[in-house]
Amino acid sequence: MRLHPRVWEMLRSRRTKIILACSPFILALLVALAYPVSTWLGRRSLEQFVESMHDQGYVTNAAAYFSPSGPAEENYFLHPAALAEQEKSGSIVKALRYFEPPLPGISRRLETGEPALARRADLRTWLTPPLADEAGTARHLLAAIEPSSRRLDELREALKRPRAEWPLDDGLDASTEAIEKIVRSQFRLRPVADFAADEAYLYLALGDSERAAADLGAMLECNRLYLSSKPTVVALLLHEALSRGTTRLIWEGIARSSWNEAQLASFEAALARENPQSALIQAFHGEAALLEIWAAKVGSLESHDQGANLLKGWDPDLDRIQQRLRGIWRELRPLGFVLSKHVQSQRALFGEMTLPDGTARQRFEPEDLARFRSTLDSLPQAIVTSESGATHTSRDIDAEAWGMLRSLSTTVLRAEATIALARTGIALERYRLQHGIHPASLQELVPAYLPSVLLDPFTRRPLHYRVQADGSPQVWSIGANLTDEGGLPKRDRDQGDLVWITRPIPGYTEKEFRKP
């Protein structure tokens, strides 16, 4: 197609050539102006947000929440056994699958049974070829882990110290590095709990309930540290995972008729002291305090090493966060634009944590979970292309707030339900030990075994209970889908009911349990 003569003449004119020659410099000037202006707008948006938090009564002095650790002799992470293990392997205690020296014949991690199907652990499945009996397997494995077991004996007492807090060597005035150190320390508790659980299963197989109870006590102390130390949301997420491991071990001992009355009573008392809801609110306030530190560092964010990340610490998967933020930077969005996006998300978070009368929220309720889920599901999705060229759907970054609210509300309610089911299961076993049968109703457990019938946090009504035809108990919570499935669990914990059973549900198969 030929150009019109007048168009061709205009393109060849001196004026057009000057404009075309200058356009790159004009665009560069616009970008150079846009970045500082946008950055200033984003910084101002953050300052206004922090000011609004102050007006609502939030304390943003991080020292109020992240106080320095106690004396070295009361700090679990400064215990000699902990320091020695950190120097050697980067973790507190090696989990059972990392033997010292390596043990031949290991096929996979210890089989811990399936409480939802009332299926006990079978330690023999962990060795290839398997040994003849479970007790022989347990003795074989205990001999292999003796060095780590000795360290756990040392650490067990350190875990009980009243001020065993996360290390905080640096101040909080100018850096969030101390908080990242806290988060890393929280993750280091996982190998301790994993090792204690594995060892406890071995002692249960040998009939040594005293040693198994000591290991379970260490796990409960890890639970306490997660909920009572430096407040971060990561701690709550880790606590929920550890609660499942703790209650599975309690269940395993009940299924084997291993625990005595005194042990069961001590487990119930420890679980009764746990308050995930309170820990979540405290963690939220602690995370809020970090905003002031973050606001003070905004000026240095032009380097964008980690990205403008107000949500850092809310999600344990930091690699995913950093990859997403690097993608934002590759799109050359001005820093102020990124700031405003994150401030918008944080405004949603704080708005949901503050009640209409301006007071701070004290707990999440089941209706919150339903509302957060429906709001998130209604948000539009965008097509995102990764570095490899693959595409997937992803919600806008504004949806991070609603996704986090849904995740946190699910986590905290599920943690409460897990604890309530375990406490009820313990009370039922104590009743059975004394009377020889299980009670006809949960009310019969009050007040000798429980102060009151425990509530399902997803309904705020008493947990469901029935006695099966074989005389075994079945207790359940309706779970995160807020639908009563009649006490039928699912592998996907966001579906089906959360159950406590000691014998299989009649007619319920593993295929049904794993069905999507």
Tens of pLDDT, residue by residue over 99-115, are: 555 555 655 567 788 99
Q: Provide the pLDDT for residue 302.
A: 45
Low-confidence ranges of the chain (pLDDT < 70): 1-12, 14-21, 26, 28, 30-32, 87-109, 169-176, 297-335, 338, 381-398
Q: Provide the pLDDT for residue 394.
A: 47
User: Do the beta carbons of residue 508 and residue 514 sit within 8 Å?
Assistant: no
C-alpha dist (Å) from residue 468 to 267, 274, 505:
25, 30, 8
Q: Provide the pLDDT for residue 172.
A: 64
* Residue 275 neighbours by CB under 8 Å, 6+ apart: 227
> Distance between CA 367 and CA 463 in Å, rounded?
18
Q: Determine the 3-state secondary structure of 7 from DSSP.
A: helix
* Residue 67 neighbours by CB under 8 Å, 6+ apart: 168
C-alpha dist (Å) from residue 225 to 73, 164, 189, 253:
16, 7, 9, 24
What's this model's pTM, rounded to 2 decimal places?
A: 0.84
- CA torsion sign for 255, 455, 237, 373 is positive
User: Do the beta carbons of residue 276 and residue 227 sit within 8 Å?
Assistant: yes
> What is the phi-psi region of residue 257: left when phi exceeds 0, alpha when psi lies from -120 to 50, beta otherwise?
left
Sheet containing 464-467: order of strands = 464-467, 473-477, 498-501
User: Do the beta carbons of residue 464 and residue 472 sit within 8 Å?
Assistant: no
Q: Report DSSP state, residue 148.
A: H
